[in-house]
Amino acid sequence: MLSVLRRIAQEIDLAGDLVSALNIVARCVREAMQVHLCRIYLVDPKQKQYVLMAFDNNELLPVPSQSLALDDGLLGLVSQRVAPVAHLNLTGDTADEKLAFLGVPIVYHRQVLGVIAVEEANHRIFTEDEEAFLVTLAAQLAGTVVHAKDMGFVFKTAVKPVEETCLQGIPAVAGVAIGEAIVVYPPADLDAVPDRQITAIAEELKRFDDALNLAREDIIQLQQRVEPILPREEQVLFSAYLQVLNSPELKTDIYNEIHDGQWAEGALRNVIKKHMLQFSMMEDHYLKERAEDILALGQRILVHLQERTAQPLQYPAKTILVGEKLTAADLADVPEGLLCGVVSYSGSGNSHVAILARALNIPTIMSAAGLAVTALEGKSVVLDGYHGCLYIDPSPKLLQNYKRWVKEEEELDRELQKLCELPTITSDGKEVQLLLNAGLARDVALSLNTATAGIGLFRTEMSFMNKPKFPTETEQRELYRKLLQAFAPRPVVMRTLDIGGDKPLPYLPIQEDNPFLGWRGIRFTLDHPDIFLMQLRALLSASENLSNLKIMFPMVTSVEEVDEALQLLDRAYQDVTQQGFKIAMPKIGVMLEVPAAIFQMEALAKRVDFFSVGSNDLTQYILAVDRNNARVCGRFDILHPAILRTLQYAVEKAHACHKPISLCGEIASDAVAAVLLLGLGFDQLSMNAGILLRIKWIIRTIPYNRAKELVARVLVLNSASLIRVEVEKLLDEVGLGALIRAGK
């Protein structure tokens, strides 16, 4: 049956539409199971009935009904049970026929989308293997059905629904954008290039060289265009493109193909596909995404090889760029000031597109499931980067609401600017320092404009990820020095190199079955003392004549790790002081992001000066939920009772040890969670610049004692949803309702 499943999957991929795909399934199932009839129904939620989408029979059984009620007969039983149903001796529709029936539900995220049913005109007992075959097929088919519906498919027509369609993706950059969708198509199709034998090898080599040079000029021009508006750290994206185009291996491989008699277009196709395959087969997500960059560059070369000029796109004043595989170059093609949103069918928050969009502060959605790019060109769209939603052809009411919300958001932000210079203290005297999370030069620029208490988390790995190699000690020192000087005397907490998981280095591929439980954070740096010492020396030397450096170790799971890290820090301190630098030993902290560390806080407190909770990973590990996995990310809830009780324990332990404790994860940027963090007694909260004044508004409005009472009340609840209701009720009562819904 495995070979049959593979064949069906391949044929579905080649089908042009959902109806064709379902008919393929019906035919293949009937032939594979040797039954008289296979029928596939899908649920029409509006009409509340099953609609027959496909069937295949050998004429021994009548054509099935075109539609059935959701509770009708055995199909209704399958739907009610959400489980396979097998029946013998079923009376037929038209006579006293005796039928054998097996039906399985097509389920996606607990919702029954339809039913696959097979019938036999004779007595027959379906085996467990046959049932498992249909269950597997239904699971595979569910994604196809959801994708087709998201693209606007409505049963037997390909007409888009009248009401606006909402496509769901992964929010990569928060914000709202209202504008016109401009679809980016590949400039050339490598798959369409045929094989062609040539004899004029020298001429073909020259054609390729000319095209390669023109593609290189394209990238250089794009790089020059964005140079005035992008920090140097972000411009490395285009340098990476140039490295690929200058690669001797790429050029040699194509030359060899041409020397073998393949024309330049075919040689380019073969080599690009080979390189793409090598990257796409890698387990590392970051390196997989580099296959898209190679394809984009190959297409640019092909454009020039084909000796035709790509027609420039006409960008409206409010451009929302949409594409199946957007690249950083696609964003740079948009004239300055016109790009207001980005939607990509593929990619993640680690892709070059997301990094560039984040640097430009452009609302962005990645992995927009079911994105019908061919149907979006010129459409009016609303991009909700907070929730990862893209509304196509929004209704006047929806559009009016979003416009009002955008206006109210702008008004609220202007009002909140008045809080910049005011202290972050509750009406009953509890002070909570608000700090910034940062990692790129643009983050630092935003931070300086918000009158913060300092940097609570500087992700030093960002400067490693945006370079083609490990940065030198001098390069690191210069970066750290600028940051420390810019914020002096305010504290700057530098987290040592934290790679692994969803933060790989492009020049150091790490292949692991489960990278989030693997070689990451301090585990990596302790295994590479050469890299660790280089960074520690750069950090220490950068703090000369300054007193605001703090160093924090990530992903700590044991006391031994901290002891070893402190020994290396002492060694780095000796090296730096011997070089003549006049420095004091900075305060040291550890991140509490692994549950094991929280239960060793007393021992850790004897070795470090402060604690900082990394709530993103802590939540992931406690709930055993991969927040990057679309199938389970809905279970990633920062208000889960287990998370709140763990945070309560951590704060109590830190204060019992007379150590300050901060929180630097995404939970600090959530208005509802911030109320609870206040009540839990955190000394500092660290967050992105855009949300800081809103959190300050909460702290200055809600008394500390009232927040503590709320925490005591919700900690006995067993549901995150109930906890959220209680906190939102308080926010409404004190006039902070604008923080939990769009607008003012």
User: HSE of 709 in the Cβ direction (CA atoms, 13 Å)?
Assistant: 6
Given the residues 28, 38, 340, 664, select the one marked as catalytic: 664
pLDDT at 312: 61
- Average pLDDT score over residue span 111-136: 88
Tokens of 67: 């539609």
Given the residues 275, 304, 352, 640, select the one marked as catalytic: 352
Tokens of 56: 């295949």
Tens of pLDDT, residue by residue over 159-190, are: 333 345 777 787 777 778 899 998 876 556 67
48 near 70, Cβ under 8 Å?
A: yes
Tokens of 588: 């040291």
Q: Which domains does the chain have, with CATH numbers?
A: 2-150 (3.30.450.40), 165-184+313-394 (3.50.30.10), 190-305 (1.10.274.10), 411-739 (3.20.20.60)
Tens of pLDDT, residue by residue over 27-85, are: 889 888 988 889 999 988 777 888 888 888 876 677 777 788 888 888 889 988 888 99
User: What DSSP line would sit under 582-609, residue for residue?
Assistant: ---PPEEEEEE-SHHHHTTHHHHHTT-S
Give the Cα separation of 412 and 415 in Å (integer). Answer: 5
* 237-251, 318-332, 700-714, range with greatest mean pLDDT: 700-714
Q: Which alpha helices (DSSP H) does 260-313 contain, by range?
A: 264-280, 285-305
User: What DSSP line would sit under 607-619, residue for residue?
Assistant: T-SEEEE-HHHHH
Does residue 352 carry a catalytic annotation? Answer: yes
User: Among 446-450, 535-539, 552-556, 566-570, whose mean pLDDT is lowest?
Assistant: 446-450
Give the Cα separation of 682 and 650 in Å (integer). Answer: 10
Q: What's the mean per-residue pLDDT of the chain?
A: 83
pLDDT at 70: 85
Kindly report the number of other CB atoms within 10 A of residue 381's CB atom.
25
Of the candidates 267, 268, 264, the residue with the CA atom closest to the CA atom of residue 207: 264
Tell me which H or E stretch contains 177. Answer: strand 176-183
In 326-466, DSSP assigns E strands to 339-344, 364-366, 380-384, 389-392, 433-438, 455-459
- Average pLDDT score over residue span 308-335: 77
Question: Is residue 247's pLDDT more than 80?
Answer: yes
Query: Nearest 5 degrees, angle CA 488-CA 494-CA 496?
Result: 160
Residue indicated by tokens 């250089």: 220
Burial annotation 488-526 (CB, 10 A radius, 16+ → b, else e)? bebbbbbbbbbbbbbbbbbeeebeeeebeeeebbbbbbe
Burial annotation 427-452 (CB, 10 A radius, 16+ → b, else e)? eeebebbbbbbbbbbbbbebbeeebb
What 3-state class would DSSP assign to 197? strand
pLDDT at 650: 98
* 129-143, 227-241, 388-402, 568-582, range with greatest mean pLDDT: 568-582
Does residue 28 carry a catalytic annotation? Answer: no
What proportion of the chain, given as a percentage, has pLDDT over 90? 37
| Pairing, β 549-553 against β 587-592 | parallel
pLDDT at 308: 47
Burial class (CB in 10 A: 0-12, 13-18, 19+), 325: buried
Burial annotation 136-174 (CB, 10 A radius, 16+ → b, else e)? ebbeebbebbbebbbbbbebeeeebeeebbebbbbbbbb
* 56-60, 80-84, 390-394, 532-536, range with greatest mean pLDDT: 532-536
Question: Is residue 157's pLDDT more than 50?
Answer: no
Tens of pLDDT, residue by residue over 643-676, are: 999 999 999 999 999 999 999 977 887 889 999 9
Confidence of residue 98 (pLDDT cuts 50, 70, 90): low
Tens of pLDDT, residue by residue over 254-304, are: 999 999 998 888 899 888 888 877 776 666 666 666 777 788 888 888 888
Tens of pLDDT, residue by residue over 74-85, are: 888 998 888 899
Which value, in Å, is the radius of gyration of the alpha carbons in the chain?
Answer: 29
pLDDT at 445: 55
The residues near 121 (Cβ < 8 Å, ≥ 6 apart) are 36, 60, 61, 92, 97, 98, 99
289 near 351, Cβ under 8 Å?
A: yes
Confidence of residue 686 (pLDDT cuts 50, 70, 90): very high
- Average pLDDT score over residue span 237-254: 84
Question: Is residue 326's pLDDT more than 90?
Answer: no
Query: What are the φ and ψ backbone dihedral angles of 435, each rounded to 5 degrees?
Result: -120, 175
DSSP class of 568: H
Residue indicated by tokens 């097509």: 106
What 3-state class would DSSP assign to 733? helix
- Positive or negative, the CA dihedral 77, 79, 83, 86 is positive
